[in-house]
Copies of this chain bind each other. A is one copy, B any other.
Amino acid sequence: MLHVWLHIDPRSSVPMYQQVVEGVKEAVARGVLNPGDKLPSVRELAMELTINHNTVAKAYQELEREHVIEVIRGRGTFIATEPDIPDLSVRVRELKEEMVRWIVEAHHLHLSDEELVELFQTVLREWREGRETL
């Protein structure tokens, strides 16, 4: 089985294990992976991506910490059903801080607030369309 929903770039400055984390999260958000779906084993995915199984394991641990997947020793890893996020307020705050960074960046690109909101809505709409066509 090939897992076309995951692509990583070994030469990227962002760590490979984090690319795996983001790839899985994006696949879930896009509906490519759904609650209960089984993920490839650490060794299988490591083989496919030609990386070390420890790197995949590190990604899975991070995903479990964020409640994206559920790990059952001896059986495998599965996409989690959607529970309450314990530290939701913390993560929303982090998201807002991230947004402030965009705003600052947009200022240096001479984008007005209106243009920035419009840009965001465009990206959101495009992403939605891409999700629906899957």
> Which residues of chain A have a CB within 8 Å of any CB of chain B?
22, 25-26, 28-29, 66-68, 82, 85, 88, 91-92, 95-96, 98-111, 113, 116-117, 119-121, 123-124, 127-128
Contact = CB atoms under 8 A, between A and B. Distances in A.
Contact of A29 (B85, B96, B108): B108
A121 B103 CA distance: 11
Contacts of A123: 96, 99-100, 103
A41 to B, nearest CB: 23
Contact of A85 (B98, B110, B120, B121): B110
A91 B68 contact: no
A92 B111 CA distance: 10
